[in-house]
């Protein structure tokens, strides 16, 4: 067995793990969508300990991957126990990562005193 064959085995295993992670993530997205359609802003999901037809998964790694991905999309994610997470979001908007820029303007008030006003603007 050559080193390239070993690397291929490791890469194939990693690709299979990512496929399982994304499969679970897609199921969570469907559940979030169903909860949102029911006017809920909270969703509880239990990560399966095993998936028939798939290799065994590491629950901690899977949970960390899912939580990071949902957090990056603006959801609030809480670890409830070994394989259960709670996902919350705001009904009016999902918090997105945005850059905050500001512009300083000088204004004169009625007493002829100039003051600086800083206008903050979220840009997505």
Condensed to tens digits (0 to 9), the pLDDT of residues 51-103 reads 888 778 889 999 999 999 999 999 999 999 889 999 999 866 555 544 444 44
Domain edges within the chain: 3-88
Q: Is the pTM of this model over 0.85?
A: no
Q: Which overall architecture, per CATH, does domain 3-88 show?
A: 2-Layer Sandwich (3.30)
Residue 51: C-alpha distances to residues 13, 38, 68, 100 (Å): 16, 28, 21, 43
pLDDT of 115: 44
Residue 82's nearest CA partner among 58, 60, 66, 62 is 60
Assigned token pair, 122: 């979220």
Write the pLDDT tens digit of every residue in 31-43: 999 999 998 899 9
Please give the pLDDT value at position 64. Answer: 92
Quote the CA–CA distance of 47 and 33 in Å, as a whole number: 17
pLDDT at 53: 80
Q: Which residues pair with 100 in a beta bridge?
A: 122
Cβ atoms of residues 77 and 87 within 8 Å:
yes
């Amino acid at each position: 067995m050559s080193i390239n064959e070993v690397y291929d085995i490791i890469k194939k295993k990693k690709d299979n793990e990512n496929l399982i992670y994304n499969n679970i993530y897609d199921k969570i997205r469907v559940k979030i969508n169903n909860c949102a359609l029911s006017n809920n802003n909270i969703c509880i999901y239990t990560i399966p300990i095993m998936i028939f037809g798939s290799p065994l998964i590491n629950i901690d790694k899977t949970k960390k991957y899912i939580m990071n991905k949902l957090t990056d999309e603006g959801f609030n994610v809480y670890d409830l126990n070994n394989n259960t997470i709670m996902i919350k979001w705001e009904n009016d908007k999902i918090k997105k990562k945005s850059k905050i820029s500001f512009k300083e303007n000088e204004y004169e008030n009625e007493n002829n005193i100039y003051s600086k006003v800083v206008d903050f603007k979220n840009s997505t």
